[in-house]
Amino acid sequence: MDKKTIIDIYNLIKVPLILVGVLWLVHIAKISTDYNFGRYGVFPREWSGLKGILFAPLIHGDFKHLISNSVPLLVLTTIIIYFYRKVALPVYVLIYILTGFAVWLFARRSYHIGASGVVYGLVSFVFWSGVFRRNLRSIVLALVVTILYSGYFAGIVPGEDGVSWESHLFGAIAGLIVSFMVKGIVEDEDVKEDPWADEKLEPERYFFPRDIFEKTKAQRYAEIQQKQLEERARVAAEKARQAGGWESNNTLQ
């Protein structure tokens, strides 16, 4: 592996690593002190709970919770930065904010923490981008994410105690909304036209005339009559030409 390749890989994963690194630093600070980090989660419909929109995704209950969010966050952020680089930053910020705000508006009155809402938002964004953009690359990415994270669908409904399923649900909705908002921003690598358009070398053939429903019966009958008259005139002219040629060939000088 040459130096340039190493640099390219580093530049690609640098931001995702920093984001995940911040989560780990916050968790280390949490378990190293007696400070109650949970108070910085989203607490719905309380003005003091609004700060959780910014801080809640950085806070996790334990290492299991942290690891379960770190790996998909690293993978999905890398995918979005690489394949959707033009919209990567606004996509991440919008999903982050919209998810937290929706939790504040509609979720149960309890502290909601963790980056799982953002993770669900990123999964949803990649999936729905394949639906809305409908180019080969986006569709393949949507299928890959569906295979990797198909088990996440169960997380958007009430289930295990102590799990903020509302964050999962609103994250998924935020990803859907954001993917629709940016679907018109085309990446340089995306195919903008039909790649098989140049292969249509022969004109398309149709069983009926293309204007069959645009003309009246009388108009079509008149066209048929006109074509028959033209054909008769052509045949008569051909016969006359042949007769004239025979006479000239058999005239004695």
pLDDT confidence band for 1 (50 / 70 / 90)? low
Q: State how far the Cα of 23 lies from the Cα of 56, in Å rounded to an integer.
A: 10
pLDDT in tens, 40-83: 999 999 999 999 999 999 999 999 999 999 999 999 999 999 99
- Architecture of the 3-181 domain: Up-down Bundle (1.20)
Q: State how far the Cα of 91 lies from the Cα of 142, in Å rounded to an integer.
A: 16
Q: State how far the Cα of 212 lies from the Cα of 135, in Å rounded to an integer.
A: 35
Q: Which of 3-7, 175-179, 186-190, 217-221 comes out lowest in average pLDDT?
A: 217-221
Residue ranges of the domains in the chain? 3-181, 208-247
Residue 249 has pLDDT above 50, yes or no: no
- pLDDT score for 228: 87
pLDDT confidence band for 215 (50 / 70 / 90)? low
Contact between 103 and 156 (Cβ < 8 Å): no
- pLDDT score for 250: 45
pLDDT in tens, 139-196: 999 999 999 988 888 888 888 888 999 999 999 999 999 999 999 998 877 755 444 4
Other Cβ atoms less than 10 A from the Cβ of 84: the count is 22
Q: Comparing C-alpha atoms, which of 127, 10, 149, 142 is closest to residue 73?
A: 149
Residue 230 has pLDDT above 80, yes or no: yes
pLDDT in tens, 94-149: 999 999 999 999 999 999 999 999 999 999 999 999 999 989 999 999 999 999 98
Collapsing DSSP states into helix, strand and coil, what is residue 112? strand
The burial class, CB within 10 Å (0-12 / 13-18 / 19+), for 124 is buried
Q: At what angle do helices 63-83 and 136-148 cross, to 10 degrees?
A: 170
Residue 205 has pLDDT above 80, yes or no: no
Q: State how far the Cα of 200 lies from the Cα of 207, in Å rounded to an integer.
A: 18
Residue 86 has pLDDT above 60, yes or no: yes
Q: Which of 2-6, 47-51, 192-196, 225-229 comes out lowest in average pLDDT?
A: 192-196
- pLDDT score for 225: 84
Question: Looking at the whole model, is its pTM more than 0.95?
Answer: no
Q: Comparing C-alpha atoms, which of 61, 14, 63, 15 is closest to residue 36?
A: 61
- pLDDT score for 236: 84
